[in-house]
């Protein structure tokens, strides 16, 4: 039954956000907050809530497959930008794992935590596979990755303005590089091409980081 709460909150937030585009009304953020309050209020535990919401999470896989349809529709735009896309993703992935490794050393984080944080920019299923062999905790990895996704979903339009990223494709690359699927869900709302490039950046970054993360790990902790 609690899946109805999730759906109603999301639809309500969409309506509110289309009328008044305040940050608090960003649909995913608003619904997550509402559901957390709902759990606190009714005393339902998370496991039960998650079980009842499998209807929604099971649609995530087909939605990602649907990104393939979007890519086909934007095929020409992708083709003419393939070089810049791969360069931007490779540099972004290296910058990400390098920064995490350096900051983890500077902040003297325990190595279990550092390993858990290393793949923080990529989609959860890959991130877990990357952090676990390095001694990371999958639970920490998924909480951080999803938290970043929520941040990206909420703030990416603001960040785009800060950094003067105006190109619709570049906006997608930036969003997909840090906030993977949850950010891509927002990118699709901004522009079809932003959604496509966000989805592409998410997928390619995920695969590239499978190689860059262990490499950086061996440099800093090997």
198 near another protein, judged by CB under 8 A? no
Tell which positions 75-94 bind another protein, by CB under 8 A: 75, 81, 83-85, 87-89, 91-92
Q: Which one, 72 or 218, has the nearer CB to another protein?
A: 72
- Give the integer Cα–Cα distance in Å for 101 and 126: 18
Q: How far is the CB of 22 from another protein (least distance, A)?
A: 17
Query: Residue 170: which region, alpha, beta or left (left: phi > 0; alpha: psi -120 to 50)?
Result: alpha
Q: Is 71 exposed, middle or buried (0-12, 13-18, 19+ CB in 10 A)?
A: middle
Sequence-distant (6+) residues with CB within 8 A of 160 are 166, 171, 174, 175
Q: How far is the CB of 82 from another protein (least distance, A)?
A: 11
124 near another protein, judged by CB under 8 A? yes
- Give the integer Cα–Cα distance in Å for 168 and 18: 21
Instruction: Please pick, from the candidates 115, 134, 173, 213, the single residue that binds another protein as defined by CB under 8 A.
Output: 173
- Give the integer Cα–Cα distance in Å for 156 and 26: 11
Q: How far is the CB of 35 from another protein (least distance, A)?
A: 5
Q: How far is CA 120 from the centre of its chain?
A: 9
Tell which positions 3-22 bind another protein, by CB under 8 A: 6-7, 9-10
Q: How far is the CB of 37 from another protein (least distance, A)?
A: 10
Quick note: the x/- pattern for another protein over 129-168, rule CB under 8 A, is xx------x-xx-xxx-xxxxxxxx--x--xx--x-xxx-
Instruction: Please pick, from the candidates 123, 212, 216, 217, the single residue that binds another protein as defined by CB under 8 A.
Output: 123
Q: How far is the CB of 179 from another protein (least distance, A)?
A: 8
DSSP at 117: H
The answer to whether the beta carbons of residues 179 and 152 sit under 8 Å apart is yes
- Rg over CA atoms, the chain: 18
Q: Which one, 80 or 218, has the nearer CB to another protein?
A: 80
């Amino acid at each position: 039954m609690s899946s109805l709460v999730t759906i109603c909150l999301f639809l309500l937030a969409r309506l509110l956000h289309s009328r008044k585009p305040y940050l608090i009304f960003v649909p995913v953020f608003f619904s997550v907050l509402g559901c957390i309050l709902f759990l606190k209020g009714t005393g339902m535990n998370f496991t039960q809530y998650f079980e009842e919401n499998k209807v929604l999470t099971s649609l995530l896989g087909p939605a990602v497959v649907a990104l393939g349809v979007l890519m086909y529709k934007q095929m020409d735009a992708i083709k003419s930008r393939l070089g810049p896309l791969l360069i931007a993703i490779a540099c972004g992935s290296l910058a990400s794992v390098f920064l995490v490794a350096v900051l983890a050393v500077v902040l003297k984080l325990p190595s279990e935590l550092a390993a858990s944080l290393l793949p923080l920019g990529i989609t959860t299923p890959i991130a877990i596979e990357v952090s676990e062999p390095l001694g990371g905790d999958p639970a920490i990895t998924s909480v951080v990755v999803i938290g970043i996704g929520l941040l990206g979903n909420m703030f990416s339009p603001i960040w785009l303005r800060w950094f003067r990223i105006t190109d619709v494709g570049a906006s997608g690359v930036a969003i997909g590089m840090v906030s993977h699927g949850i950010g891509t869900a927002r990118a699709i709302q901004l522009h079809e091409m932003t959604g496509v490039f966000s989805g592409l950046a998410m997928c390619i970054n995920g695969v590239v980081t499978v190689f860059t993360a262990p490499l950086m790990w061996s440099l800093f902790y090997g």
